Structure 1
Amino acid sequence: MDGSVTGEEFRTRVRDWLASAPRPEGLHDYGGTPQLADVPAGRQWHRTLFEAGYACLHWPAEHGGRDASVLEQAIFAEEAARAGVPRQLNIVGPDLAGPVLMRYGTEAQQRRHLPPILRGEHLWCQLFSEPEAGSDLASLRTRARPDGDHWLVDGQKVWTSAAGAADYGLLLARTGEDRHRGITAFVVDMTLPGITVRPLRQLDGESKFNEVFFDDVRLSGDSVLGEVGQGWRVATATLGQERLSLGAQAVGMFEALREVADAARERGLLDPVLEDTITALWTRIWLLRATWLRAVGTDTELGSSAFSVLKLVSSEVYRDLGDLATSALGTDTLAAGHPLLRRMLVGRAQTILGGTSEIQRNILAERVLGLPR
């Protein structure tokens, strides 16, 4: 981006463009992960972003990006949330797979995969978590065994976002016995024989997550991303980018708080005690947003412990929003179809997805306070 442009000037430019940009029918802010029905509109929207120069802002110019600063990326995420649109097709391709391919991929892999990600033509999923390897990812059991110049993959992944619509996946599989050095990363064509995707239906009615089964899936030798045994390093390099959306989440939290207040007022439940609770949450959301702006405004590294603080705080504020909706309105009022139902159900999930609150506390204890493992 032009270094002479200030953050607020960039915000104004983005806000004006988003207000006038054509939107495909059915487009809505589905967050980092589209459901199957969201994908056609999401692809069209990403193409619009690409043509306007707003796709993959953080990518280097040599790969079609804009070399945007962390602050500019964060501003775009927040303004997209304010406009009610996704900031890109999904998080895995542009934010995770793309940068990892630039760092560890061969020239052939980069030529094949980066341009379709940039244009929104290929949707990616992340094949990391397993039934017994979530927070403890190094205990994964999905195995890739050599077969001549190919690899055969067997195992199961779970909580895989957008797997049912994905064209490609970023896979971690065990190729050796060492806990960390025995893991290898692969690029997987999701149409290969032997791959079965089963949607997981959530309590809120959505099916953003999936189980993925591998049954003697045959991968070519050039599917390895990086070197054999380098998968743990590849995996850690993918973490952090999703923290850019924390400020965008604050926009949604303010809206959720307004919904709770309006619903309580309609039912005659907005008494002084509830008003105090809403005000306290409103203050916490503003503090979250201010801390986020301070972190991204100094171009803090995305792997910094500062983002673990933000992740922990945002998760627990989101949880408390869901609890507030339940306690203030009563579970009997949050029947199917009620706009606050999803807020209530998703609140608890926020303390688990993207790194549990317990894991964030461990990171802060070890890296900031210097406590023993």
Structure 2
Amino acid sequence: MSTTTEQGAAFRAEVRAWLARAPWPYGLRNYGGTPEASDVPAGRQWQRTLADAGYACLHWPVEHGGRGASVLEQAIFAEEVARAGVPRQLNIVGPDLAGPVIMRFGTEAQHQKYLPGILRGDHLWCQLFSEPEAGSDLASLRTRAGHDGDGWTVDGQKVWTSAAGAADYGLLVARTGKERYQGITAFIVDMSLPGITVRPLRQLDGESKFNEVFFEGVRLPGEAVLGEVGQGWQVATATLGQERLSLGAQAVGMFEALREVAEAARERNLLGDVLADTITSLWMRIWLLRATWLRAISADTELSSPAFSVLKLVSSEVHRDLGDLATAALGADAMVDADDSPLVHRMLVGRAQTILGGTSEIQRNILAERVLGLPREPTR
């Protein structure tokens, strides 16, 4: 057994033993990367429990309260919490996105002000990037930030903002100049400021994890700028490169969902040859997802690598097909309320997975251009 394999096995045993004895807050559920408002109290308490045990923000440097963990250790932890049925952390945006870019682009004062609150779960963050006219093409954003004395005034709209209703801070990109890329600046926004309105978007499954956010004359101080003025595109691309770590660990939950689908079909006498073949095919695809993830992390691939778009693409489409499979397994029962069946919930949200966090079409473009070296498609 190699040293890396031995270390990985030892770390997995350590994490699994801790999860078996860790105190779980009342009401904690595996809500994924984004809590609903009702999940936040238990999520905050869980983040503090992780921090006290040294498992919060594993990938952060030791000097900022992390563990300086390798990609392999991060992946093992993600897989074990998925297996245990608890969240990896309070939410994705603070520990995985905002924290690392604040370390990279922020001032020392920003480090001291924001990082401890992210580490311990005192502050929930949201990502204010997408707009009604700027989803996949973020560089076409229209939210504007104009100079106002020694600060800035922001006007515009964001959409599909996860956890905005409960967030304490947001990572905002806004247009500060005419240039397509150099005219964008990143800001740290206190979500309690006057002029910010959050409107929840109710989903088919009854949850409201996404929101519209409106800015009307929101006044930001000069120290709200993250990085340099005009450096927002670099901040945005660095942020978006951090989102792929836990994708392979989702295979644990997918296997459990597949078992539930097969059992539901069997109970309804719907498990015929065609459905059994579909289940078998999906089972193999989930194993391929896990193998691809393990291969990527064993090579210690940087999390910002476009190769991780493979994981996003495969996991999204497996989620989608699991939802379709749930429909077939439930038969007429697919029309019942989502609260009555996790499989109905899976059916309703499955297709959204190929859109949120980067559409499957965009992932294919990334792989074609940045991995295979194919020419870009013509643009207008």
Question: What band does the TM-score fall into relative to the shorter chain?
Answer: over 0.9
- Indicate the RMSD between aligned Cα atoms, in angstroms: 1.3
Q: Give 5+ residue unaligned stretches, structure 2.
A: none
**CA contact 1:176–1:182 (8 Å) conserved in 2:** yes
CA positional deviation for 1:122: 0.6
Aligned to 1:370: 373
TM-score, normalised to structure 1's length? 0.97
Deviation, structure 1 residue 240: 2.9
How much identity, in percent, do the aligned residues show?
Answer: 81
CA distance in 1, matches of 2:201, 2:286: 31
- What secondary structure is seen at the aligned counterpart in 2 of 1:97? helix
Q: Is 1:87 the counterpart of 2:88 in the alignment?
A: yes
Correspondence for 1:17: 18
Paired with 1:277 and 1:218, the residues of 2 have a C-alpha distance of 54
| Matched ranges for 1:159-198 at <5 A | 159-198=160-199
Moved more, 3-12 or 137-146: 3-12
**1:106-145 equivalence runs, <5 A:** 106-145=107-146
Query: Does the CA contact (< 8 Å) of 1:334 and 1:340 recur in 2?
Result: no
From 357, 361, 364, the counterpart of 2:364: 361
Partner of residue 306, structure 1: 307
User: 1:294, 1:371 → 2: CA distance?
Assistant: 24
Residue type of the partner of 2:99? G
In the TM superposition, what whole-angstrom CA distance separates every residue of 1:315-344 from its partner, at most 9, and x where no partner exists? Answer: 111111111111333354341022211111
Give the Cα–Cα distance (whole angstroms) in 1 for the partners of residues 188 and 233 of structure 2.
Answer: 15
- Aligned residues of 1:74 and 1:244 also touching (Cα < 8 A): yes
Aligned match of 1:73: 74
Report if aligned partners of 2:195, 2:218 keep a CA contact under 8 Å in 1: yes
2:258 aligns to what? 257
Distance 1:331 1:174 in 2: 49
Q: Which position in structure 1 is the counterpart of 2:289?
A: 288
Query: Residue 81 of structure 1 aligns to a residue in which SS?
Result: helix
1:344 is the counterpart of 2:347:
yes
Alignment partners' CA distance in 1, 2:336 and 2:217: 44
The amino acid of 1:241's aligned partner reads Q
Query: Does the aligned pair in 1 maintain the 2:248–2:315 contact within 8 Å?
Result: no
Matches within 5 A, 1:142-291: 142-291=143-292
Aligned-pair distance for 1:178? 0.7
Instruction: Give 1:158 shift.
Output: 0.5
Q: What CA deviation, in whole Å up to 9, does each residue of 1:31-67 have, x standing for no partner?
A: 1110000000000000000000000000001111100
Q: Which deviates the most, 269-278 or 145-154?
A: 269-278
Counterpart amino acid of residue 181 in structure 1 = Q
Q: In the comparison of the two structures, how many residue pairs are matched?
A: 372
| Alpha-carbon distance in 1 for matches of 2:220, 2:253 | 41
Give the superposition deviation at 1:10. Answer: 0.8
Whole-Å Cα distance in 2 between the matches of residues 102 and 5 of structure 1?
31
- TM-score with structure 2 length normalisation? 0.96
Letter aligned with residue 193 of structure 2: L
Q: In the alignment, is the contact (CA less than 8 A) between 2:204 and 2:349 conserved in 1? A: no
**Structure 2 CA distance for aligned equivalents of residues 118 and 272 of structure 1:** 50
Structure 1 position 5, deviation (Å)? 5.9
Which deviations, in whole Å up to 9, do the C-alpha atoms of 1:284-315 show, x marking residues without a partner? 10111011011011210112222111111111
Measure the CA separation in 1 of the matches of 2:330 and 2:23: 38
For 2:151 and 2:4, how far apart are their aligned partners in 1? 47
Q: CA deviation at 1:29?
A: 0.5
Q: C-alpha separation between the residues in 2 aligned to 1:249 and 1:334?
A: 26
- What is the alpha-carbon distance in structure 2 between the residues aligned to residue 10 and residue 159 of structure 1? 36
Question: Partner of 2:318 in structure 1?
Answer: 317
Distance (Å, rounded) in 2 between the aligned partners of 1:95 and 1:220:
25
Q: 1:371, CA displacement in angstroms?
A: 1.3
Residue 130 of structure 1: SS of its match in structure 2?
coil
Counterpart secondary structure, 2:248: helix
The aligned counterpart of 2:101 is 100
